[in-house]
């Protein structure tokens, strides 16, 4: 059936999501059930708990996506599912659901790399994606810098060597007694603070190296809080939050711009949960403007995990002739380019 309708399924972490997207760009329905309330008390996602909640939620979420789009399974042309990277128990739920639907309806199925999905989130806003481009994906579990020479091809040019950027936010926020996820809380505090108040170290700052390190920054921030506590001094929380956030934004942006220059790209793409941080976005926008480049980022509601981006990426892969079969399996540490 040539309906152009893709059913996307996404369960790689703590969101159970399904979406119907037409022609890879037009979002007909987009349902995201977040487990964030459940995981808040743990200060993060606990894999087995996530997996159990996915099992309960997956078919109601898929049915809701179909209902909202006012289509039936029969109208769907292709089923796309995120099969990695992520938490293996969570991924398995989406992959098993997609395979059983594909088998029952005899529709084609396409496995999608979750990180690749984040890049395609930009298509959902009607933006034109024109490689070569560099894409920075930043979240609680990832800090990946990718070069996309042409659509469908990827090269990882940098990644974190220790903690993910979002993890540094979450851990420091937890020590400050702020709720999970930590990024938005620190951004809120930082609005009233002076980012130059405290100088925190930047990891791997040497030129030409696109890998990241946030462990040293995390340690320096925690040391700062401990020392203040020992001396019985009050910490100016807004200044602390602004300076800590700035250290992360500064190094992310510096490497992103250096990569954009080295590879001579036209476009710079931001994706992942941390791309929803507006202080970060605004600063990258300023740096991109200065260099005459174009910045793309998905609208805020497509920055976090969703299935519309999986449907979009899956549709374009399907059109490029790519198909998965029933041997498709969840791959926790899937890398871009892996088949």
Partner 1 sequence: MFKLNSSSFEQTIEAGVKLGKLLLPGDLLNLNGDLGAGKTLFVKGVGMGLGVEQDFITSPTFAIINEYEGGSHPLYHFDLYRLETELELEQIGYLDYFYGDGITAVEWGNLFEEFLPEERLDITLESMGLDARDITFTGKGKRGKMLEEKMRGLF
Interface with partner 1 includes 195 (CB under 8 A)? no
Indicate the pairing of strand 5-10 with strand 26-34: unpaired
Q: How far apart are CA 251 and CA 43, in angstroms?
A: 25
Yes or no: say if 86 and 44 are a contact pair by the CB < 8 Å rule.
Answer: no
149: Cα separation from own chain's centroid: 20
Stretch that binds partner 1, among 185-193, 219-227, 267-275, 296-304 (CB under 8 A): 219-227
CB of 222 to partner 1, least distance (A): 4
Least Å distance, CB 212 to partner 1, is: 10
CA distances from 117 to 82, 104, 214, 277, 309 (A): 8, 25, 25, 19, 5
Q: Does 103 bind partner 1 (CB under 8 A)?
A: no
Looking at the Cβ atoms of 47 and 108, the one nearer to partner 1 is 47
137, 160, 304, 324: which one contacts partner 1 (CB under 8 A)?
Answer: 160
Stretch that binds partner 1, among 129-137, 159-167, 282-290, 308-316 (CB under 8 A): 159-167
Do 124 and 25 touch, CB atoms closer than 8 A? yes
Between helices 182-190 and 237-262, what is the axis angle to 10°? 110
The minimum distance between CB 1 and partner 1, in angstroms, equals: 39
Q: Where does this chain touch partner 1 (CB under 8 A) — which range of 28-36, 104-112, 114-122, 164-172?
A: 164-172
Chosen residue from 38, 49, 73, 258 binding partner 1 by CB under 8 A: 49
243 binds partner 1 (CB under 8 A): no
H or E segment to which residue 242 belongs: helix 237-262
Cβ proximity to partner 1: between 111 and 141 the closer is 141
Rounded (10°) angle between helices 47-69 and 88-105: 30
Nearest-angstrom CA–CA distance, 258 and 323: 36
Mark 29-48 with x for binding to partner 1 (rule: CB under 8 A) and - for no binding: -------------xxxxxxx
């Amino acid at each position: 059936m040539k309906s152009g309708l893709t059913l996307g399924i996404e369960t790689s972490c703590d969101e159970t999501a399904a979406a119907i997207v037409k022609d890879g760009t037009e979002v007909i329905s987009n349902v995201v059930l977040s487990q964030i309330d459940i995981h808040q008390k743990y200060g993060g996602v606990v894999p087995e708990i996530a997996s159990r909640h996915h099992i309960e939620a997956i078919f109601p979420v898929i049915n809701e996506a179909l209902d909202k789009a006012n289509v039936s399974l029969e109208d769907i042309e292709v089923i796309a599912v995120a099969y990695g990277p992520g938490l293996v128990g969570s991924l398995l739920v989406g992959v098993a659901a997609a395979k059983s639907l594909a088998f029952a309806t005899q529709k084609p199925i396409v496995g999608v790399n979750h990180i690749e999905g984040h890049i395609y989130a930009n298509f959902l806003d009607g933006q034109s994606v024109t490689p070569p481009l560099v894409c920075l994906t930043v979240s609680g579990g990832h800090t990946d810098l990718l070069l996309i020479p042409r659509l469908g091809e990827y090269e990882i040019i940098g990644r974190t060597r220790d903690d993910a950027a979002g993890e540094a936010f979450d851990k420091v926020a937890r020590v400050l007694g702020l709720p999970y996820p930590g990024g938005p809380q620190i951004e809120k505090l930082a609005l009233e603070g002076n980012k130059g108040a405290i100088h925190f170290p930047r990891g791997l700052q040497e030129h030409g190296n696109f890998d990241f390190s946030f462990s040293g920054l995390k340690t320096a921030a925690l040391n700062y809080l401990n020392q203040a506590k020992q001396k019985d001094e009050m910490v100016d929380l807004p200044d602390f939050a602004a300076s800590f956030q700035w250290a992360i934004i500064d190094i992310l942006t510096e490497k992103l711009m250096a990569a954009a220059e080295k590879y001579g790209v036209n476009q710079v793409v931001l994706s992942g949960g941390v791309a929803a941080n507006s202080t970060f976005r605004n600063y990258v926008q300023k740096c991109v403007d200065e260099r005459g480049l174009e910045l793309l980022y998905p609208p805020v509601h497509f920055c976090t995990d969703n299935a519309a981006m999986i449907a979009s990426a899956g549709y374009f892969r399907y059109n490029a002739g790519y198909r998965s079969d029933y041997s498709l399996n969840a791959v926790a540490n899937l890398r871009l380019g892996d088949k």
